Amino acid sequence: MTIIQTIILGIIQGATEFIPISSSAHLLLIPWLLGWNTPSLGFDIVLHLGTLGAVLIYFRKDWLAMAQGALRLLTKRDTGDPNLQLLGLLIVGTIPAAVIGGLFEDFFERVFQNPLIASLMLFVTAGLLFTGERLGKQSHDLENITWLDSIIIGFAQALAIFPGISRSGATIAAGRLRNLKRDSAARFSFMLATPIILGTGIIHLIDLFETGVASSEIVMLLVGFVTALISGYFVIRWLLNFLRTRSTAIFSIYCILAGIFCLIVLLVRGV
């Protein structure tokens, strides 16, 4: 893999991890369409850690406030901090994806990791976004999220176990179905990704370092990490502003068009 390919894939990961059009589908389909080598698992993990860095940096004030709320709970038994409640909601929302992903992720990636499935799953993402926009009301802010909302959004996050289903798309759509405003649904979605990406990243990084990393690959990993972090940070800022006044319909249309295009390529190539 060349430096240019690494930068392109880093930008794609940083953008599509948050824009609800499926990062897993794009990281699979774009190298396939362009005839590039399939990125290694280590490279994919490092790109995800780059987007994790973007979430940590962008929402640093929120994470600090939640950490302070947890500290007050431990030292003063203060349970009234709303930031502590948000932390609890994020923990609860993480459980479904952590359990289901831990049990079945390897199976789903092995069986369904191919261009046809990824292309078809883009239509599922489009359907989820369309349903959320069609049925959801913009009546609740982030402060109004309930424990039931968190669990439902958490199960939606677990849908991303299917390569090609957008994690952010599924969780934003679930938030919209629970009547969250678009930008509030997106904020919760992005922060909810943090524990899953962190946990998965640590596990796979341990495996990666146990098997060894070639010195020539270290530069590529660093370039991919930094590129995904920078692009992810600016995409988060842009998307939250975008969703304050606009719907996710354009992303639903994009997923449909991208899915159709990839299916046509599959037919032409006879794959």
Q: Helices 41-58 & 23-34, crossing angle to 10 degrees? A: 140
Q: What is the mean pLDDT of the chain?
A: 90
- The Cα 77–Cα 33 span in angstroms is 56
The count of residues in the chain is 271
Please work out, in degrees rounded to the nearest 5, the angle formed at the alpha carbon of residue 55 by the alpha carbons of 191 and 222.
140
Segment 112-124 mean pLDDT:
87
Question: What token pair was written down for 176?
Answer: 């919209």
Question: What token pair was written down for 76?
Answer: 């003063």
Residue 126 pLDDT: 96
Position 192 pLDDT exceeds 90: yes
Banded model confidence at residue 250, pLDDT cuts 50, 70, 90: very high
- The Cα 262–Cα 32 span in angstroms is 10
Segment 233-241 mean pLDDT:
97
Segment 57-61 mean pLDDT:
96
Residue 109 pLDDT: 67
Residue 217 pLDDT: 79
Position 52 pLDDT exceeds 90: yes
Half-sphere exposure of 28 (CA within 13 A, CB side): 26
Segment 244-266 mean pLDDT:
94
- The Cα 106–Cα 133 span in angstroms is 32
Residue 7 pLDDT: 95
pLDDT in tens, 143-178: 899 999 999 999 999 998 888 899 999 999 999 999
Banded model confidence at residue 81, pLDDT cuts 50, 70, 90: confident
Segment 132-148 mean pLDDT:
91
Residue 146, H or E segment: none
